[in-house]
């Protein structure tokens, strides 16, 4: 199947995801990849990401997603994001705890580029938020977001919850008031369920989601290409392979074509049941 | 086993059709680490080793004899059982398992020519002697020669793969061989 057609028809997502790394300065209780400071880094080299991004544009992809781990632990990440954004619009997922001093200054060239940094903020008060994400997470995030917004850098807020459908409306309103006050509008706030993989699986948290429940979005890691950014998870220190598409990641047409073939004539928008994006 | 088998719950998308509820061969569960290789290897193996225009007995003679010469424990054990199912006798299996070449006392002339060909292809280096090929051609058509030679070559590939990765034979196979006195 033609990759561009599959993207145009919505059978596979238009965003190519790149797992920059697996290590992180946090150790969140629901982390899909069991990321933490000491884990195997599984870094994708910047030149590799840039090459795949250029191929993605040629194949008909419309955007890029960079995730990890915490991508901004890699010193070269801001410069790479700027280069990637000249190829396709970029969303970078971050815990938002590193944006001070030298690292914050390094982000300034991203102003005005088609880049959004998606920062996790789960609860409107520090205590419950930090119970999931670690000490002082809340304070660091609410300090970082305005700094980015002031510098003209796009910011999205992602809220990850065990049960979004039963989310207390009053708490949700407090959280929305908070992100608005920080300079992030409702259109840039996403709420999504915890996916029961990685550390969430170990902790008996979240919803189970397999290939049929997830939007197919090609995702590249140092270990191969996967069918979703929720695919290359780590459980018990071992990489999950149930959503592995191919070990081959270059040329990008190999995993992209394989994913399009796997999806076949599947209905577009099949992730609607869980709303996982 | 040198590499860990990919367990069914971790089977990659392309590998899932090759997993069986009753048990999955270690060839599949090892190749599943590289699903794009599995996806082409298994259909290839199925076409070359599976049912075709050549009768199953002749194919199992080729596979067992090749595997004996390549000293592949996994393939010898697995295909001795398959050979018995295809009509090869226990005595013939024992003869095939002898490392002497050429095979002595084999009854059918066409199979003697075939086994001599296998011995020359699998046990030799460089060119295959012309007279061995001519004897084979006396009994088999061009398509059959191609298919049998491809079968021998594919078996060599599998022999080295299975031996290098130390793939384990299944318990039912080992039990069957024990019952038949072929352990």
Q: Nearest residue on chain B to A211, judged by CA atoms?
A: B13
Q: A75 Cβ partners below 8 Å, 6+ apart?
A: A106
Element (H, E) at B115: helix B109-122
Dihedral of CA A4/A10/A12/A16: which sign?
positive
Helix or strand holding residue A112 (H, E): none
Those residues whose C-beta lies under 8 Å from the C-beta of residue B117, and which sit 6 or more positions away, are: B128, B132, B133, B135, B136, B148, B149, B152
Lowest mean pLDDT among A86-100, A167-181, B43-57, B98-112: B98-112
Q: Is residue B168 within 8 angstroms of chain A, CB to CB?
A: no
Q: Which residue has the tokens 């038949």?
A: B180
pLDDT band per the 50, 70, 90 thresholds, residue A46: very high
Angle among Cα B89, B74, B118 to the nearest 5 degrees reads 60
Residue A52 has pLDDT above 80, yes or no: yes
Q: Which of B13, B19, B31, B37 to mutate to test the interface with A (most CBs of A within 10 A)?
A: B13
Provide the pLDDT for residue A228: 97
Report which of residues B88 and A271 the model is more confident about: B88
Q: Is B32 on the interface with A (CB under 8 A)?
A: yes
Q: What is the mean pLDDT of residues A55-69?
A: 98
pLDDT of A63 reads 98
Residue A154 — φ and ψ, nearest 5°? -65, 140
CB contact under 8 Å between B10 and A262, yes or no, is no
Query: Does A246 sit within 8 Å of B14, measured CB to CB?
Result: yes
Predicted TM-score (pTM) of the model is 0.92
Which range, of A125-134, A158-167, B146-155, B170-179, averages the lowest pLDDT? A158-167
Distance CA B18, CA B94 (A): 32
Mean pLDDT of A34-59: 97
pLDDT digits (tens, 9 = 90+) for A198-239: 999 999 999 999 999 999 999 999 999 999 999 999 999 999
Shortest distance between the Cα of A245 and any Cα of chain B, in A, equals 6
pLDDT(A89) > 60: yes
How many of the other CB atoms lie within 10 Å of CB of B97? 14
| pLDDT at residue B104, rounded to an integer | 76
pLDDT at A273 over 80: no
- A272 — pLDDT class (breaks 50, 70, 90): very low
Please determine, for residue A130, whether its predicted confidence score (pLDDT) is greater than 60: yes
Low-confidence ranges of chain B (pLDDT < 70): 101-102
CB contact under 8 A, A246 and B35: yes
CA distance A226 to chain B (A): 9
Q: What percent of chain A has a predicted confidence (pLDDT) above 70?
A: 95
What mean pLDDT is reported for chain A?
93
Provide the pLDDT confidence category of residue A50 given band limits of 50, 70 and 90: very high
- If you measure CA to CA, which chain B residue comes closest to A257? B36
Distance CA A19, CA A33 (A): 10
Which residue did the predictor score with more confidence, A265 or A59? Answer: A59
pLDDT of residue A277: 46
Helix B142-164 / helix B56-69 crossing angle, nearest 10 deg? 40
Rounded to 10°, the helix B142-164/B73-85 angle is: 130
Q: Decide if A242 and B33 are in contact by the 8 Å CB cutoff.
A: no
The mean-pLDDT minimum among A251-255, A260-264, B25-29, B104-108 falls in B104-108
Contact A245 B12 (CB under 8 A): yes
pLDDT of residue B101: 62
The answer to whether the bond into B102 is cis (omega within 30° of 0) is yes
Nearest-Cα residue of chain A relative to residue B36: A246
- Contact: B11, A241; criterion CB under 8 Å: yes
**What's residue B98's pLDDT?**
87
Q: What is the pLDDT of residue A265?
A: 67
Chain B residues within 8 A of A258 when measuring between CB atoms: 14, 36
Q: What is the pLDDT of residue A267?
A: 53
Separation between Cα atoms, residue A34 and residue A27, nearest integer Å:
7
The minimum CA-CA distance between A117 and chain B, rounded to whole Å, is: 31
Whole-number Å distance between alpha carbons of A85 and A194: 28
């Amino acid at each position: 199947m033609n990759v561009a057609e599959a993207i145009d028809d919505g059978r596979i997502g238009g965003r190519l995801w790149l797992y920059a790394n697996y290590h992180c300065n946090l150790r969140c209780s629901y982390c899909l990849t069991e990321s933490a400071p000491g884990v195997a880094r599984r870094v994708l080299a910047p030149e590799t990401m840039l090459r795949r991004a250029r191929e993605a544009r040629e194949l008909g992809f419309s955007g890029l997603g960079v995730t990890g781990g915490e991508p901004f632990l890699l010193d070269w990440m801001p410069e790479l994001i700027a280069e990637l954004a000249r190829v396709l619009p970029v969303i970078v997922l971050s815990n938002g705890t590193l944006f001070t001093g030298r690292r914050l200054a390094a982000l300034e060239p991203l102003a005005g580029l088609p880049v959004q940094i998606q920062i996790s903020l789960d609860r409107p008060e520090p205590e419950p938020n930090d119970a999931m994400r670690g000490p002082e997470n809340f304070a660091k995030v609410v300090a970082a977001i305005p700094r980015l917004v002031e510098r003209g850098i796009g910011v999205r807020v992602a809220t990850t919850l065990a049960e979004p459908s039963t989310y207390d409306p009053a708490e949700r309103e407090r959280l929305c008031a908070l992100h608005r006050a920080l300079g992030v509008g409702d259109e840039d706030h996403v709420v999504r369920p915890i996916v029961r993989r990685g550390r969430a699986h170990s902790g008996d948290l979240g919803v189970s989601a397999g290939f049929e429940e997830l939007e197919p979005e090609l995702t590249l890691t140092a270990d191969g290409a996967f069918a979703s950014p929720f695919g290359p998870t780590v459980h018990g220190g071992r990489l999950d392979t149930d959503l592995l598409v191919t070990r081959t990641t270059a040329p990008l047409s190999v995993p992209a074509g394989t994913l399009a073939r796997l999806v076949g004539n599947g209905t577009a928008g099949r992730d609607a049941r869980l709303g996982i994006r | 086993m040198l590499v860990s088998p990919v367990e069914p719950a971790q089977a990659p998308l392309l590998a899932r059709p090759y997993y069986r509820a009753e048990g999955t061969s270690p060839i599949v569960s090892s190749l599943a680490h590289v699903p794009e290789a599995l996806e082409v290897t298994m259909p290839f193996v199925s076409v070359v080793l599976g049912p075709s225009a050549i009768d199953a007995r002749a194919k199992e003679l080729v596979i067992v004899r090749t595997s004996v010469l390549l000293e592949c424990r996994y393939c010898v054990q697995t295909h001795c059982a398959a050979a018995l199912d295809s009509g090869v006798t226990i005595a013939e299996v024992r003869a095939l398992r002898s490392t002497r070449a050429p095979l002595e006392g084999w009854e059918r002339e066409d199979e003697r020519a075939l086994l001599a060909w296998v011995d020359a292809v699998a046990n030799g280096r460089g060119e295959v002697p012309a007279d061995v090929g001519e004897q084979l051609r006396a009994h088999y058509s061009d398509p059959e020669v191609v298919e049998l030679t491809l079968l021998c070559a594919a078996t060599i590939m599998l022999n080295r793969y299975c031996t290098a990765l130390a793939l384990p034979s299944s318990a039912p196979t080992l039990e069957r061989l024990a019952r038949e006195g072929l352990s």
